[in-house]
């Protein structure tokens, strides 16, 4: 069998965790639907709310949305514009203005699905060339983070890590309108969540810790699983956003809880990725046809669709474009290992996995799919 050592590609969806409260939403409405629908009507079949009474409850409840410039709405007697993002009673409508900061693999796909769902989307990315193509999908491409969030009902951050989020939001905060919702979907540390939530409170935003499960393909298909935690009284307002980017929203108690579950889920995903990579490299080293191994486990409790997908990417030389890049996976592995250390557990696999990703990146595979952990089994 030919060695797979030349390879990259696409992954299937990441494993979905179970959680205390989770629902599946009904089929997505037509992408062009812009009819104003009360967010309260989403509750039974859509996302579920946590029970509130959280210290994170944002003081400004619904009804804060001022006349909506991007929606071109007409001021009503109560001073709230008709049009996108606001209703006569001040509650948010189904279509909103969303400022998306970060249009990498995940952010670009999420922005496109927000556009398909009829939202007004303003995007910004540090490297302008990654944001520019979204103009063709109908997004307003902003020259700065501040311009992207101006007039936004919802700010969505999908950046590399916590430092990047803080850096970008420092510039954006002065332009965010009071009472806007901040959906923070970047995978960050638990300490970052605390810091970002404090920053949000300082600047008058309602903060939602909202990491996602699923990679490029589910992101492009609007099939992510959103893990969300934030002020209970505004959760319904986010249903149109979460329904646009995902097929399932799992609400958790308060900021931090969503990221904790995300890190646990990623611990599993990364361990599986390395297990597949090492098993493939060992098979090759021992002269065992990998297909013999896959046949051996087929249909039994050791079989695993994710393993087959990742091994397939390496063997099929489909590691580019990445679904989840090696460098991003290394960042996540280090977040997991650090979370374990801080909470008194040794996570040897996470530590070793981070090191495999580091070596693979050093060998020039940093932008490839994380299945390129395979290369870390070899000296070059």
> Taking CB under 6 A as the rule, does residue 130 contact ligand NAP?
yes
CA 315 to chain CA centroid, Å, is 28
Q: Is 23 helix (H, G, I), strand (E, B) or coil?
A: strand
What's the angle, vertex CA 324, arms to CA 191 and CA 6, rounded to 5? 140
- 105 vs 232, which CB is nearer to ligand NAP? 105
Among 294, 238, 282, CA closest to 92: 238
Evaluate whether 99 touches 105 at the Cβ level (below 8 Å). Answer: no
- 96 vs 325, which CB is nearer to ligand NAP? 325
- 86 vs 336, which CB is nearer to ligand NAP? 336
Evaluate whether 61 touches 52 at the Cβ level (below 8 Å). Answer: no
Q: Please report how close the Cβ of residue 241 comes to ligand NAP at its closest, in angstroms.
A: 16
> Taking CB under 6 A as the rule, does residue 15 contact ligand NAP?
no
Evaluate whether 204 touches 181 at the Cβ level (below 8 Å). Answer: no
Among 158, 190, 283, 336, binds ligand NAP (CB under 6 A): 158
> Taking CB under 6 A as the rule, does residue 215 contact ligand NAP?
yes
Q: Please report how close the Cβ of residue 55 comes to ligand NAP at its closest, in angstroms.
A: 26
DSSP string, 153-206: SEEEE--SSHHHHHHHHHHHGGGSPTT-EEEE-S---HHHHHHHHHHHHHTT-E
Residues 243-302 that bind ligand NAP (CB under 6 A): none
> Taking CB under 6 A as the rule, does residue 25 contact ligand NAP?
no
Among 95, 125, 235, 249, binds ligand NAP (CB under 6 A): 125
Residues 176-205 that bind ligand NAP (CB under 6 A): 186-187
> Taking CB under 6 A as the rule, does residue 83 contact ligand NAP?
no
What is the three-state SS of 91-134? Answer: CCCCCCEEEEECCCHHHHHHHHHHHHCCCEEEEECCCHHHHHHH
Whether omega before 169 lies within 30 degrees of 0, making that bond cis, reads no
Give the count of beta carbons closer than 10 Å to the beta carbon of residue 204.
16
> Taking CB under 6 A as the rule, does residue 58 contact ligand NAP?
no
- 182 vs 324, which CB is nearer to ligand NAP? 324
Question: Of 44-52, 75-83, 133-141, 156-164, which segment contacts ligand NAP by CB under 6 A?
Answer: 156-164
Q: Please report how close the Cβ of residue 231 comes to ligand NAP at its closest, in angstroms.
A: 23
> Taking CB under 6 A as the rule, does residue 336 contact ligand NAP?
no
- 62 vs 130, which CB is nearer to ligand NAP? 130
Distance CA(299)–CA(297), nearest Å, equals 6
**Site residue total, ligand NAP (CB under 6 A):** 27
Inter-axis angle of helices 257-285 and 190-202, nearest 10: 150
Among 164, 221, 275, 288, binds ligand NAP (CB under 6 A): 164
> Taking CB under 6 A as the rule, does residue 328 contact ligand NAP?
yes
Among 182, 324, 357, 374, binds ligand NAP (CB under 6 A): 324
> Taking CB under 6 A as the rule, does residue 159 contact ligand NAP?
yes
Evaluate whether 106 touches 219 at the Cβ level (below 8 Å). Answer: yes
Phi-psi region of 205 (alpha: psi -120 to 50; beta: other; left: phi over 0): beta
> Taking CB under 6 A as the rule, does residue 126 contact ligand NAP?
yes
> Taking CB under 6 A as the rule, does residue 93 contact ligand NAP?
no
Burial 264-297 (b: 16+ CB within 10 A, else e): ebbbebbbbbbbbbbbbbebbeeeeebeebbeee
- 101 vs 205, which CB is nearer to ligand NAP? 101
* Residues facing residue 167 across a β-bridge: none
> Taking CB under 6 A as the rule, does residue 105 contact ligand NAP?
yes
> Taking CB under 6 A as the rule, does residue 107 contact ligand NAP?
yes
- 167 vs 233, which CB is nearer to ligand NAP? 167
Residues near ligand NAP (CB under 6 A) are: 102-107, 125-127, 130, 158-161, 164, 167-168, 186-187, 212, 215-216, 323-325, 328, 332
């Amino acid at each position: 069998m030919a060695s797979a050592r030349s390879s990259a590609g696409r992954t299937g969806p990441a494993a979905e965790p179970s959680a205390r409260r989770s629902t599946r939403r009904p089929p997505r409405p037509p992408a062009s639907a812009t009819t104003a629908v009360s967010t309260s009507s989403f509750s039974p079949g859509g996302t579920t709310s946590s029970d509130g009474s959280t210290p994170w409850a944002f003081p400004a409840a619904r009804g804060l949305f001022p006349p909506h410039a991007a929606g071109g709405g007409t001021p009503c007697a109560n001073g709230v514009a008709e049009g996108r993002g606001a209703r006569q009673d001040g509650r948010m409508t189904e279509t909103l203005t969303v400022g998306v900061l970060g249009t990498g693999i995940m952010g670009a796909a999420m922005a496109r699905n927000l556009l398909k769902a009829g939202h007004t989307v303003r995007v910004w990315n540090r490297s302008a060339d990654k944001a520019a193509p979204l103009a063709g999908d109908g997004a307003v491409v902003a020259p700065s983070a501040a311009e992207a969030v101006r007039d936004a009902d919802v700010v969505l951050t999908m950046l590399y890590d916590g430092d990047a989020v803080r850096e970008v939001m420092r510039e954006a905060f002065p332009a965010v309108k009071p009472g806007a919702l901040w959906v923070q979907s970047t995978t960050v540390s638990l300490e970052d969540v605390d810091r970002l939530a404090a920053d949000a409170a300082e600047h008058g935003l309602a903060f939602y810790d909202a990491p996602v499960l699923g990679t490029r393909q589910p992101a492009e298909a609007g099939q992510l699983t959103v893990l969300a935690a934030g002020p209970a009284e505004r959760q319904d307002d986010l249903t149109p956003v979460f329904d646009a980017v995902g097929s399932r929203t799992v609400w958790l108690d308060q900021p931090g809880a969503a990221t904790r579950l995300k890190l646990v889920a990623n611990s599993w995903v990364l361990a599986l990725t390395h297990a597949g990579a090492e098993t493939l490299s060992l098979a090759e080293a021992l002269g065992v046809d990998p297909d013999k191994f896959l046949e051996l486990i087929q249909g039994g409790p050791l079989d695993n669709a994710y393993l087959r997908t990742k091994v397939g990417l390496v063997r099929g030389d489909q590691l580019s474009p990445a679904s989840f890049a090696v460098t991003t996976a290394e960042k996540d592995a280090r977040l997991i290992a650090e979370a374990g250390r801080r909470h008194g557990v040794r996570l040897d696999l996470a530590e070793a996995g981070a090191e495999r990703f580091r070596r693979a990146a050093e060998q020039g595979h940093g932008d490839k799919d994380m299945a390129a952990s395979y290369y870390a089994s070899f000296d070059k």
